[in-house]
Each structure stands twice: as C-alpha cells, then as structure tokens.
Amino acid sequence: MKKGVAKPRFVGQLIMGILEIVLIFAFIPYIYEIGGTLISSSTYANMITWSALAFVVVHGLWRIIDAYTTMRHAD
C-alpha cells in the first residue's frame, strides 16, 4: 500500500476504532436499563454480555493496530 493511501486509511480506522471503544459507554447504560445490572443471576447472560463488550473493545483496538502497522510498512 502506498503511503499516500495508508495515512488517510489509518486516520479513518483510528476514528472508527475510538468510536467503537466509546460505544461501550453507550452499551452499559442500555444494559442497566434492560436488566438492571451488568452481572445477573444467569451465567449464560453474563457470558453473552461480557463477551460482547470484550469483542467490541478488542475489535476497536485491532482496527487501530492493523491500520498503524499497515501505515508503518507502506511503500
């Protein structure tokens, strides 16, 4: 990938990654409103909730790291 393409892609992915991580702060009040707590009496519900939150954070970080690595190794 050329540097002229890699840098704008990095900026776009950085913004998307940050927005994705900030999305957690929108999910948590919604989960509280629906279930009243992040930790319920159902192990299955806890697993789904925490897995979804962890996925969103990891995916946001992956976007940022992948775009940064691509930009660093651009031609």
pLDDT at position 26: 80
Q: pLDDT by residue (tens digit) across 54-68?
A: 898 899 999 999 999
Q: pLDDT by residue (tens digit) across 2-53?
A: 888 888 889 999 999 999 888 888 877 777 777 666 666 777 877 887 888 8
Question: Which are the contacts of 53, defined by CB distance < 8 A and separation ≥ 6?
Answer: 24, 27, 28
Judged by phi (left if over 0) then psi (alpha if -120 to 50, else beta), residue 36 lies in: left
CA distance 21 to 64: 11
Number of folded domains in the chain? 1
Domain span including residue 67: 3-72
pLDDT at position 62: 93
Task: Tell me whether residue 22 is exposed, middle or buried, using C-beta atoms within 10 angstroms of its C-beta: 0 to 12, 13 to 18, 19 or more.
Answer: exposed
- pTM (two decimals): 0.74
